[in-house]
Amino acid sequence: MNQTTDPLQPSSRMRWLAGGLIYLYAFITLIPLVWIFVTATRTPNDAIAYPPKLVTAPSPTGFVNLFTTRTRLSNEDLAALPPPATWYDNLVRKQQMVIAGPSSFIGRYVNSLIIGFGSTLLSVVLGTLAAYGFSRFRVPGKSDLLFFILSTRMMPPIAVAIPIFLMYRAVGLSDTHLGMILLYTVVNLSLAVWLLKGFMDEIPREYEEAAMIDGYTRVQAFYKIVLPQAATGIASTAIFCLIFSWNEYAFASLLTSGNAQTAPPFIPTIIGEGGLDWPAMASGTALFLLPVLIFTVLLRNHLLRGITFGAIRK
């Protein structure tokens, strides 16, 4: 055996081991997600069957139940009805129910989109400006201010739920989109400022100085030179902010009820007739996961650091 091995590269056995561990980890973390998507495509009876079924025929029942409210009727009443007009009418009839109207899921989902993306946008804009200021200018009491900003994260946000609840009620922000956007922005902002300051600090000042000597104002230099290079940082910060405000449950269930209620507090309230409607809840959850997934996939190229960095150093 005269096989030469590169001492700087891991041996093939280590590679297999590392690969195996990664797949194992992925398998463990993906099981709940897979279960959600599988449950979403089952009938309510299949979902609660015992012993559990591993493979079932796919059914859109969960989604139909998610988007509708239904009334259970006796067999005689059902028989008296005209035949079902659509495939989903038919599906509901099979559960001995008729459709009473649309559910409020779409409205809640839109609320989630408005509040989630609204607060993410606001956090990133404010965070970028603040981080740039902290990174580039002599701010009196800079370290104290930065510590103060960080300190807002030192207790769980829900610890201030009661004061915020009372405050919001007093100023009329309860159950409004604006109220929730502001609240999530406040929570996210400290993270955004700190993360982005790190990225800003890594962008050499020479770039802006060069632009300012070459006839640009500081604002133009910021816009044309700093922002494109901070894209990586802005993208990852945006993902973190979105994940928080999209998933937030506690404040949403406390401060919203109708008008501005987001999807997280709504989904658990989908209770079917005669027990929990697991497929409906699972399809709600599956749809709920999509935007963060899409957002992350779209921005994932920006998450690969090193693309925009490294041109100034050798």
Partner 1 sequence: MADITVENLQKRFANFTAVKNSNFKIHNGEFFVLLGPSGCGKTTTLRMIAGIEIPSSGRIILDQDDVTFKRARERDIAFVFQLFALYPHMNVRQNMAFPLENEKFSKSEVKRRVEDIAKMLKIDHLLENGVGNLSGGDRQRVALGRAIVRQPKAFLMDEPLGTLDTEFRELMCLELRRLHDRLGATTVYVTHDQHEAMMMADRIMVMNQGEILQVDTPERMYNFPNCKFVGTFIGTPPMSFLRVDSTVRVTDKSIAIQGVPVGIPRTHETAPSVLLGLRPEHVALVSSGGIPGTVKAVEYLGSHQIVTLETAAGTVRARVDKNLKVRLDDAAQALPDASRVLLYNASTEKLMASDYTRLEVAKPEATNLEAVRGAVAHG
Residues in the site for partner 1, rule: CB under 8 A? 204, 206-207, 209-217, 220, 225, 228-229, 308-314
Nearby residues of 58 by Cβ (< 8 Å), 6 or more positions away: 41, 42
Q: What are phi and psi of 85, to 5 degrees?
A: -80, -30
Question: Is 99 or 200 the residue whose CB approaches partner 1 more closely?
Answer: 200
Cβ at position 168, least distance to partner 1 in Å: 42
Question: Is 66 or 200 the residue whose CB approaches partner 1 more closely?
Answer: 200
Cβ at position 206, least distance to partner 1 in Å: 4
Give the span between the Cα atoms of 251 and 105, in whole angstroms. Answer: 19
Question: Is 52 or 215 the residue whose CB approaches partner 1 more closely?
Answer: 215
Cβ at position 144, least distance to partner 1 in Å: 17
Cβ at position 228, least distance to partner 1 in Å: 4
Q: How many CB atoms lie within 10 A of CB 256?
A: 23
Give the span between the Cα atoms of 269 and 69, in whole angstroms. Answer: 12
Cβ at position 127, least distance to partner 1 in Å: 21
Question: Is 6 or 214 the residue whose CB approaches partner 1 more closely?
Answer: 214
Tokens (6 digits) for 168: 């919001």
Question: Is 72 or 224 the residue whose CB approaches partner 1 more closely?
Answer: 224
Tokens (6 digits) for 85: 């007009």
Give, in degrees to the nearest 5, the angle at Cα 65 between 276 and 81: 115
Give the span between the Cα atoms of 44 and 271, in whole angstroms. Answer: 12
Compute the CA torsion angle 123, 128, 133, 136 (nearest 10 deg).
150
